[in-house]
Amino acid sequence: MKVYLKFLFMVSIVFSLISCGKKTETETKVNPFVSTETETSVLTPEAFGKELFEGKGMCATCHKADVATSGPSIKDISKMYTDKKASISLFLQGETDPIVDPSQYEIMKANLEITKTMTDEELQALEMYMLSVK
C-alpha cells in the first residue's frame, strides 16, 4: 500500500510539472478599422473616425455636425482645414496651431492630451470622418 501511494504521489508530481510547462504567447496586432463592438465587422476609416469622435476622443462633447456649441461645428472645421489645405491630425497631435477659433484653444487643450495618445491610424480616421461631414 505504501509503495502504491508513493507511486501515485510521484505520478501526480510529474503531471503537475508537465502541466506547468512554458506557455507561448503570440502578440496579436489589432486592426484599428475593426469595430470593438463586433470583431467580425470591418469599418471604413470614416466610420472608425466617427466611433472615435463620439467615444474615445470625446470630441462630440463640444463639436456637433452643423451647429457651433462650446466648439465650432465639424462642418466649419472641415471647411477651414480644406480651404487652408491644413491637417486636422497634425493639430490633434499638437504639432500645429489652431486655425478655426484660436480663442477656444485653452478649452481644447484638455482634449488634445487625449488625441496626442492616439495612433496615426486613429488620427487619420478622425480626420477622414471630420472631412466627410458636409
CA of residue 65 relative to chain centroid, distance: 21
pLDDT-derived band of residue 40, with 50, 70 and 90 as boundaries? low
Q: How confident is residue 34, by pLDDT bands cut at 50, 70 and 90?
A: low
pLDDT of residue 23: 55
In the chain, where the domains are located: 45-134
Grid cell 463586433 is found at 38
Q: In 3D, which of 59, 95, 94, 93 has the Cα closest to residue 77? A: 59
Q: How much of the chain, in percent, has pLDDT values that exceed 90?
A: 57
3-state secondary structure the chain: CHHHHHHHHHHHHHHHHHHCCCCCCCCCCCCCCECCCCCCCECCHHHHHHHHHHCCCCHHHCECCCCECCCCCHHHHHHHHHHCCCCHHHHHCCCCCCCCCHHHHHHHHHHHHHHCCCCHHHHHHHHHHHHHCC
Tell me the whole-structure pTM to 2 decimals: 0.67
99 pLDDT more than 70: yes
The pLDDT of residue 134 is 83
pLDDT given for residue 74 in this prediction: 96
Per-residue pLDDT, averaged over 118-125, amounts to: 96
- Which of the two residues, 56 and 4, has the higher pLDDT score? 56
Name the CATH code of domain 45-134 (choices 1.10.300.10, 1.10.760.10, 1.20.120.1200, 1.25.40.10). Answer: 1.10.760.10
